[in-house]
Structure 1
Amino acid sequence: MASEITPIVLSPNDAAKALSISRSSIYALMRNGALPWVQFGADRRIHIDEIKRLAIEGVPSAVKKA
């Protein structure tokens, strides 16, 4: 019986697909601190809980103006 592993971190590309927004929007959210991320070597990853939070709460208005 094969079981599928659920990812707990996503690449910026996968996060953009999950949220149906552009990759550049993901990088802008990461840059202005609205979307926390971690770095593994040269790769940036976003925790799935942060993706879910952003999908539910949206972007705070203070960040949208930045």
Structure 2
Amino acid sequence: MSVSGMKKQLHKASQLLNERLMGAEGTKMDEDFLRMEKSVAVIHTLLLELLSRTTEFLQPNPEISPEAVKL
């Protein structure tokens, strides 16, 4: 891990500790951000599935008969 990455993680941990100990409130995310976050999660899942199926299509399993693989 790079030095900048370690600094970032240390800052996150420090901020969380301050929020917990001092009773500070964390940053609230607005509705647009939360909706976009859900959309990105769905798109990420779909892209992983697409990548998996594309790889399977380009490198098929030789033990499966061609009749069993109907698209």
Using structure 1 for the length normalisation, give the TM-score: 0.21
Query: Is the helix fraction higher in 1 or 2?
Result: 2
Query: Is the strand fraction higher in 1 or 2?
Result: 1
Using structure 2 for the length normalisation, give the TM-score: 0.21
